[in-house]
Amino acid sequence: MPVTSGTLPVLGIVVPCYNEEEVLPETVVRLSRVLDSLVGDKLVAPGSFMLFVDDGSRDKTWELIERYRRSNPRVAGLKLARNAGHQNALLAGLNRAIRTVDCAISIDADLQDDPEAMREFIVKFHEGYDIVYGVRQSRATDTAFKRGTAQTFYKMMRKLGANIEYNHADYRLMSRRALEQLDRFKEVNVFLRGIVPMIGFKSTKVYFDRHERFAGESKYPLKKMLSFAWDGITSLSVTPIRLVTLAGFVLFVVSVLAGLYAIVQKLAGNTVSGWASLMLSIWFVGGIQLISLGLIGEYIGKIYKEVKHRPLYIVETNLTAQSETGTGTAVPASLAEGGQASVSRDGRANGPDSGSPVGIGPKETRR
DSSP per-residue string spanning 315-336: EEEEE--HHHHSS--EEETT-T
Architecture of domain 11-236+311-332: Alpha-Beta Complex (3.90)
User: How much is the pTM?
Assistant: 0.71
Q: How far apart are CA 215 and CA 109, in angstroms?
A: 10
**CA–CA separation, 95 and 107 (whole Å):** 15
Question: E strands along the chain, which residues?
Answer: 11-17, 49-54, 75-80, 103-106, 131-138, 168-175, 203-209, 315-319, 330-332
Domain ranges across the chain: 11-236+311-332, 239-308
Residue 320 has pLDDT above 60, yes or no: yes
CB neighbours of residue 224 within 10 Å: 13
Q: Identify the pLDDT of residue 88.
A: 92
**Within a 13 Å sphere around the CA of 138, how many CA atoms are in the beta-carbon half?**
8
Give per-residue pLDDT as tens, 158-211.
Answer: 777 667 787 888 999 999 999 999 999 888 878 888 889 989 899 999 999 887
pLDDT tens digits for range 10-62: 999 999 999 999 999 999 999 999 999 999 999 999 999 999 999 999 999 99
Sequence-distant (≥ 6) Cβ neighbours of residue 275 within 8 angstroms: none
Of 144-148, 275-279, 339-343, the range with the lowest mean pLDDT is: 339-343
Give the pLDDT confidence score for residue 275 in this predicted structure.
Answer: 58
Strand partners, 177: none
Q: Could you report the per-residue pLDDT of 203-224, keeping only the tens digit for each?
A: 999 999 887 765 556 555 566 6
Q: Percent helix, strand and coil across the chain, each rounded to 5? A: 45, 15, 40
Strand partners, 159: none
Q: What's residue 114's pLDDT?
A: 92
Mean of per-residue pLDDT scores for the chain: 78
Q: What is the mean pLDDT of residues 105-131?
A: 94
Average pLDDT over residues 107-135: 94
Q: Side chain identity at 56, as an amino acid letter?
A: G
Weakest mean pLDDT among 136-150, 306-320, 333-347: 333-347
pLDDT in tens, 304-316: 777 777 788 889 9
Query: What distance in Å separates the CA atoms of residue 307 and residue 345, rounded to the nearest whole number?
Result: 12
294 or 262, higher pLDDT = 294
CA-based nearest residue to 105, from 89, 92, 122: 122
